[in-house]
Structure 1
Amino acid sequence: MIFSLKRLLALSLCIFSFACLAAEPLDLNTATADQLALALSGVGQSKAEAIVAYRDQNGPFMNVDDLTKVKGIGPALLDKNRMILQIKQPK
């Protein structure tokens, strides 16, 4: 029974990892607070709202590293989420 649970957990993690890799990165300049809170690890509703408020007050983010300008977002938190973030260039 334990062996089966371990295999099931490992399989679930693999499927989840592939699903995350297949998802399109989140654009910091268009994402809503709800989207940010849901997608970013270590970011709850309050920090997500702070990200949107910063963007509204200061204009669009020029690059992903600018996220650290938001109070409560440091380099470690950014690095944890870097792979799922992007800045789309206007068309």
Structure 2
Amino acid sequence: MASKKERRQEGDSVLESLRLERTTLTQDEFAVACGIPRTTYQRWVSGKTSAKLTLPQLKAIARLLQINSINELPDDFGPRVRSHSQEEDE
């Protein structure tokens, strides 16, 4: 099993949360298994770029995350968008 350092989460990304909940893969292992360069994956989960997936990459992500329906996929892989009221609560 990977160490906590290797399995750390980048920001508040839905994709990262799913990776940690549903796999034992590190970011690097997950990206390689999906055919995605590590730096590209990190830009997606940090919100620096939007994901532009190929169909094989999308299928690999769905398989690894045990997603059976397209409706289970997040609309965005980057950090969760927080409402103004959520920010005031902190």
The normalised TM-score by structure 1 is 0.26
Larger fraction in strand:
1
Larger fraction in helix:
1
| Higher RCO, Cα 8 Å, sep 6+ | 2
Higher CA-based Rg: 1
The normalised TM-score by structure 2 is 0.26
